Structure 1
């Protein structure tokens, strides 16, 4: 990582703070036991099946995600602007070696010597994780779940923000009805 990328890194770490707040205009994470229904979504290489899901405002949905592709994929809830911001974080994670085509290296510390920190520093803000409550990574051949209570919102998508995947068409729409 070059010194020129440090401002971007600081910005990316700061943007992850919104996930900690748990405040999303389109709803909030929920417990699987609170779900009123389950929706199974297959993650293939550069597609979701189905690619459109209808939910009602106030409904709690348990998404059962099955990665039948050969690549690591993400299921992330948000609008196009949120996905664009998240894609920047995912690109940084890929550039740092935290994301490979088939897996996420969890809790991988950054090279502090590249950031002006002492080697061995315990600066936890310098750790990047993929732990947003509206998102889950699913390795090839694996399954995962995400449970969400939806509020009224428009322009909501589910997408894979791994570099290049969204642009290749790995995005679906969430239609929220009253």
Structure 2
């Protein structure tokens, strides 16, 4: 009896100490993240100090694209899929991270071990950079993001680090039928 009660108590304490997310999982009208093994095509995007090459990409609805992101610049950059309104909202979050000192010109403080990959989430102060449609790439590093596009639409891929989008670090992504 004592053993069963102890196990029950331990399970309750574990459940109470586990982090709970109050926000629902991200849903995107234009698609969803996918495993790299499902990619039907790979597109390499080079990040310069304030530009993307190429500046425009065309994909088809239903296609799964593996984006290989190469940062040849001297600054931290972001690759974020979305529309202009999503980028404007995300830019505010990135500005808060910069103002808090968490976002630096070349990296992020208190970042997870997988900074160059998709999971760079736990940064304290309630701020996260863990959106599945986004990846940060440090100078001289390469990262990947694989995405399945669900329907025809006009999107942008952008760097939302404060000031980068405004000086032209944005490209057009057209999803056709």
TM-score normalised per structure 1? 0.79
Cross-structure match for 2:132: 133
After superposition, residues 56-67 of structure 1 pair within 5 angstroms as 56-67=60-71
> Is 1:25–1:153's contact at 8 Å kept on the other side of the alignment?
no
**Cα deviation code 1:83-122 (max 9, x no counterpart):** 0000000000000011000001213323xxxxxxxxxxxx
> Is 1:26–1:151's contact at 8 Å kept on the other side of the alignment?
yes
The CA deviation at 1:139 is: 0.3
Does 1:35 find its partner at 2:43?
A: no
Residues of 1 paired with 2:148 and 2:123: CA distance? Answer: 31
Cross-structure match for 1:7: none
Aligned length: 145
List gaps (5 residues or longer) in structure 1.
1-15, 111-126
Richer in helix (by share): 1
Q: Show structure 1 runs of 4+ deviating over 4 A.
A: none
The CA deviation at 1:49 is: 0.2
Cross-structure match for 1:162: 161
List gaps (5 residues or longer) in structure 2.
1-21, 112-121
Q: Greater RCO between the two (CA within 8 Å, min separation 6)? A: 1
> Which SS does the other structure have where 1:21 is aligned?
coil
Larger radius of gyration: 2
> Is 1:90–1:163's contact at 8 Å kept on the other side of the alignment?
yes
